Chains A and B, each alone.
Chain A
């Protein structure tokens, strides 16, 4: 019941924020950026490597949000809506540079499909820092696996919310996440003993 009340309060708060933005309040839009730049960063950073491109793309995303806010269906979650804009805008950006399509990505993610680790990464792993080890392994995950992992574990989104953002069925989101985590564990277990993990 408390959760329901929280959700209702949050929605009311979001509706007020949207109304303020539509009335031309720039501070309200800055507030919206503060709330959702983490989500946008997670999507853009995972899909785009160049830091300059990331910044330009993030700006394009928030401009699109501003331009289309009047069309936002207030029955939906604002985070999912903004996430979808971020995801589609990034895909379009990538499409211009390299045509990456969902169909091109094999659902049979395996250890062989991941690129070999660079010298730099190997040096970093030698430092025995588990966070660095996991970060490096996540960095090697191809899209969309890395995006799904970030949305689930960093933004704490549900399968349904991730499905709304990516346009994938709930079941596909779940199975991709499962495969990605299984692969990460296997790769880490293959390289390190459990004692090393805990250091």
Chain B
């Protein structure tokens, strides 16, 4: 007599299809060996469907949401830090231009009839006009640039601290 295979019994228990049911149940009625195997599989399947390990508790939701909020905060601080560093950098550049009197060099370049003059001149003229207007307030501009740089450094260190804490 051909006994039921493990595969056939598992397929029967997985699908409960009629074709398996007839083959498995009809055979098991007359074969104690296969009947025992079938019962063992039934018990095993019942045991496998029982939850044996803890599922995440309700407090988990709050900690996950807190994690998301920290992530969003981190992201917004990063955007702010980038904006501050761009503004700070530009201010520093302009202050440097004034301090080192590079404008005269720029004028010399723009005055030269080089192949680049056409493209470069309008930009230099704009910078020149801007610097002329700001020239009287050199100390204020330098102070503003310094303040922005300090603010950026402070912000950067705060963000780093926060990231480390996360």
Give residues in A with beta carbon < 8 Å to B: 26, 29-30, 33-34, 37-38, 40-42, 45, 55, 58-59, 62-63, 66-67, 130-131, 133-135, 138, 149, 153-154, 178, 181-182, 184-185, 188-189, 194, 197-198
Contact = CB atoms under 8 A, between A and B. Distances in A.
A62 B40 CA distance: 38
Chain B facing A: main interface SS: helix
A30 B61 contact: yes
A103 B23 CA distance: 37
Interface string B63-74: 111011001000
B60 A37 contact: yes
17 contacts: A30-B61, A37-B56, A40-B56, A55-B56, A58-B64, A59-B63, A63-B64, A63-B68, A63-B71, A134-B48, A135-B47, A135-B52, A138-B48, A185-B37, A188-B44, A197-B43, A198-B39
B40 A194 contact: yes
B131 to A, nearest CB: 44
Contacts of B44: 134, 181, 184-185, 188
A177 to B, nearest CB: 8
Contacts, number: 93
Contacts of B37: 185, 189
Contacts of A63: 64, 67-68, 71
B38 to A, nearest CB: 10
Contacts of B10: 178, 181-182
Nearest to B71: A63
